[in-house]
Structure 1
Amino acid sequence: MDRRSFLKASTLGAGATALAAPAYAQGNRTLTLVTTWGRGNAGVHDVAQRCADRITAMSDGTLSIDLKAAGELVGAFEVFDAVTAGQADMYHGADYYFVGQHPGYAYFSSTPFGMTAQEQANWYYHAGGAELHDELGQIFGLKSFLAGNSGVQAGGWFAREIETPEDFQGLKFRMPGLGGQALGKMGASVQNLPGPEVYQALSSGAIEGTEWIGPWADEKMGFQEITKIYYTAGFHEPGTGNSLAVNREVFESLNPAQQTIIETAAGDAHAWNLAQFLTENGKALTRLQGEGVELRTFPDPVWDAMGAAAAEVTADNMSDDLFARIHESAMESMVASSAWLSRSEGVYRAQRDRVIG
C-alpha cells in the first residue's frame, strides 16, 4: 500500500472510531464517598468534606457526593476494599493505611525520612509521581489523586520520656505505615488504630503512646488530657498526603468534564488543607504549652536508630519492582528539590529567625 492509500485508510478508520464514542452515564448522579476519618476529625475530615462539596458545586449538581465518615458505612480501614469491590464509589484517606495491599502506597501518603509536603508535591505533579500513583491504582481498579496534606507530623505523645533507642523496647505505640514497621524493628509493639479509637486506647493504657497528626488535630483529640510529654518532630511522616480514589469503572463512566472536576477538586483540597494545618498548628502549640504540655525532641542517637530501622524497612520491599521504581523516582526528585530548597528557603529562614527573632 502506498503512503496516500495508507493515509486514506487510516482516515476512514479514524472516522469509524470517532462514531463509536464512549457511552457516558447520563443524568444527575450521587456518588458515595467513604473515608478513613471520624466525622469531625480536625483537618482530615474537613478536607474530605471540601472534596465532596467542591465536586458537587463545580458540577452544578450533576455529581452529588454523599460523604460517609468512618464507621457510617464501612470501617476506617475497610474503605479501600469497599471501593475496589464497588460497595462505595470513592474513598478519601491516607494511602499508607493500605501498604498491606502494596507497600508502594506509602509514598502517596508519607514514608520515614521521606519527602516534605512541598517535595512530595514537586514529585507528584512534575516528576512522575502522579503517573506512578495511576499505575499502582490500575492494579486495584482505582483512579487516585492527591487530595490533602497535613505537613510535617509530630513525633507523638508518650507516657514517659524517650532518652535512648532502647526505650522503645516493648513500648505499645500507635503508628501506621512504613514508619510503624520501622518502629517495630526498634522493638516497639506497634498498633495501627483508626482515629476514632486512639483516645480511648491511650486513656485506658492499651497503648503507651501515639502519634496522630500535629498540635491542632492532636489538641482536638484531647491527648493533652492524658499525658503532657509531646515530641514535636517525628521521623515517620515529614509531609503526609491524603488521597481521593475513585473506582476506576465509575470514573471512566463519567464524562470528561466530570472527570476533570474530580481531579481539580482534589488539587484544590491538597493546597487548601496544607495551608489549613500550617495556619492552625502554631496557634494550637501555644495553647498546649499553656496547659502544661512539655515539648520534647528526640536525642540524636534515637534519630540515628530510627534512620537505620527505616532503611531496613525500605530494603525489605525493594524486591518488588513497582515499589523499587516508586522509591527511586521519589528519592531522585526529593534530592533534587532539597538541593535548592536547603540553599534558598532553608538559608533564608535561618537568617530571618536570627535577624528578627
Structure 2
Amino acid sequence: MIRRQILTGGAALGATALSTTLASPAVAQTAPEIRWRMASSFPRSLDTIYGAGDHVAKRVAALTDNKFQIRAFPAGELVPGLQVADAVQNGTVDCAHTASYYFVGKDPTFAFDATVPFGLNTRQMNAWMQHGGGREVLKPFFDSYNIVSIPAGNTGAQMGGWFRKEIKTVADLNGMKMRIAGIAGNVMQKLGVVPQQIAGGDIYPALEKGTVDAAEWIGPYDDEKLGFNRVAPFYYFPGFWEGCLNLSVYINKAKYDELPQLYKDALESACRDATVDSMAKYDVQNPQALRRLIAAGTQLRAFPREVMAAAYKASFELYDELAEKNDHFKRVYDQWRAFRDAEYGWFRVAENSFDQFVYAMYAQEAQQRR
C-alpha cells in the first residue's frame, strides 16, 4: 500500500506533516513505476542548494513506496547548468532543479519565479507562491515554454558579493565586470557595470584570472566552499537584488500531465518540504561560515546608501520599461507589485519594528560586553 506524507504550509514558513493512506491495495498494485532524470543547475559540492533538488527526489520516492523515482544529476552531467530549461522544454530530461532567473535572456518574466531586485523577502516570496497568486499568474507564461514550475528551495537573503576593490560611490562601479545573475545584471548595467552570466562552478577561475572584477553567488556558506575569499578581499552586503532566491523544479508539461494525481501530490509535498529544509539549513550554516570568513581576513562592507538608492531607482525604471514592451512581464509585474505593496505595509508594522528593536538591543549589549 502506498503511503505518503503531505506537507501543508498555511503560514509562510510553516509545514505540518500528515501521514495519510491515499490508496487502497488495488490502487497500490496498479500504481505505475516511473523513473525520471533531474538535471540540476548546481554542482554537487554545494550540498545545500544542490541538495534541495536531491531532497525532492528522495522524498518523492519515500512518499510513493519507491514507485516514482527521480534521479538527480549535478550540473554538467546531463546538460550544462544554464541549459536545463531547454532540456526540460524539449524533453531531453524529464525535470530540472534550477533558479529561473538564469533564463532572463529568453524572457525577463522568468525572473519573477526566482527573485527580482528590491523584491520580496523569503517569507513574502513563499506567501506569494503558495497563497498569493504567484504560481497562478506565472502559469500561462510557463505553459508557453512547455514547463510546469514548482517552488522547491530558497536561499534566504543573499550577500552582495566579492569585490577586488572598495565601492564608495556609484562611479566606482563604472566599467566593472561583474558576475551577476538574472535581471539584476540589467539593473547594474544601468549603473555602469558590465554584467557577466557565469555558472557557479566557473566563477572562481574567472575571479582569480581577472576575467571579472567582482562576483556574487549566494552567501557565506556556499561562498566559502567556492573559495572566493582567496581571490577577492571585500565582501559586500546586502544582495539587494536577492532578498531571497526561490528555487524551482521544472517539469516537462507532457510528462507532468501523464502523472497519476497521487504522484503529482507527492511532488508538491516533496517540493514544499525542500523549501522549508533548505531555508533552515542556510540559516544555520551562514552565521558560522561568516564568522570563519571574517576570522580568515575577509573585509565585510555595507554597500553605500548612494549605491543602494541608485540601484533602487534603476530597478523600477527597468520594470516599467519591460512592462511597456512585454505583455507576459506586465501581467505578472502588475499582480506582483500589488502583492508586494500589501506585504510591505504589513511587514513594516509587525516584522520590521520587532527586528529593528531586538537587533538594536543586541548590538548595544554586544558593545557593553566588549
C-alpha change, 1:296 and 1:191, in structure 2 (3 Å) is same
Q: Following superposition, which runs of at least 4 residues in structure 1 exceed 4 angstroms of deviation? A: none
Alignment of 1:136-151 (within 5 A): 136-151=141-156
**2:346 maps to which of 333, 340, 343:** 340
**Identity across matched positions, percent:** 31
The structure whose Rg is larger is 1
User: Are 2:328 and 1:322 equivalent residues in the alignment?
Assistant: yes
- Residue 241 of structure 2, aligned match among 236, 240, 243: 236
Q: Secondary structure at the match of 1:177?
A: coil
RMSD: 1.4
* Counterpart secondary structure, 2:178: strand
Q: TM-score, normalised by structure 1?
A: 0.90
TM-score, normalization by structure 2: 0.87
**One-letter code of the match for 1:110?**
T
Given that residues 179 and 235 in structure 1 are in contact (C-alpha distance below 8 angstroms), is that contact kept between their aligned partners in structure 2?
Answer: no
Deviations 1:294-313 (A, max 9, x none): 11011111112111221232
* Map of 2:360 onto structure 1: 354
Equivalent pair of 2:173/2:193 in contact (CA under 8 Å): yes
Whether contact under 8 Å (1:42, 1:216) holds in the other structure is: no
The equivalent of 2:164 in structure 1 is 159
- Equivalent residue runs for 1:1-357 within 5 Å: 27-319=32-324, 320-356=326-362, 357=365
Query: Residue type matched to 1:174 in 2?
Result: R
1:42 and 1:166 map into 2 onto residues whose CA distance is: 37
Query: What residue identity is the alignment partner of 2:100?
Result: D
Give the C-alpha shift of residue 26 in structure 1: 6.2
Q: Does structure 2 conserve the Cα–Cα contact (< 8 Å) formed by 1:172 and 1:190?
A: yes
Letter in 1 for 2:352: G
CA contact (8 A) 1:122 1:333 kept: no
Whether contact under 8 Å (2:31, 2:67) holds in the other structure is: no
Q: CA separation in 2, counterparts of 1:337 and 1:185? A: 28
Kept in 2, the 8 Å contact 1:186–1:306? The answer is: yes
Give the Cα separation in 1 of the matches to 2:356 and 2:99: 32
How many Å apart are 1:207 and its aligned residue?
Answer: 0.7
Alpha-carbon shift at residue 108 of structure 1 (Å): 1.1
Query: Aligned pairs, how many?
Result: 333
Query: 1:230-261 CA distances to partner (integer Å, 9 max, x unpaired)?
Result: 00212211111010111011011110000111
Q: Distance in 2 between matches of 1:92 and 1:53?
A: 14
Counterpart-to-counterpart distance in 2, 1:354 and 1:299: 20
2: CA distance between counterparts of 1:355 and 1:27?
57
Task: Tell whether the 8 Å contact from 2:207 to 2:232 is kept in structure 1 after alignment.
Answer: no
* 1:92-129 Cα deviation digits (max 9, x unpaired): 10000111222111011110111111111111111210
- Are 1:51 and 1:265, in contact at CA under 8 Å, matched by a contact in 2? yes
- Point out the more displaced range, 128-137 or 242-251: 128-137
What does residue 25 of structure 2 align with?
none
Any stretches of 5+ residues in structure 1 without a counterpart? Answer: 1-24
1:275-311 per-position Cα deviation (integer Å, ceiling 9, x unaligned): 1111211111111111011110111111121112212
Corresponding letter in the other structure for 1:344: A
Matches of 2:300 and 2:245, distance apart in 1: 21
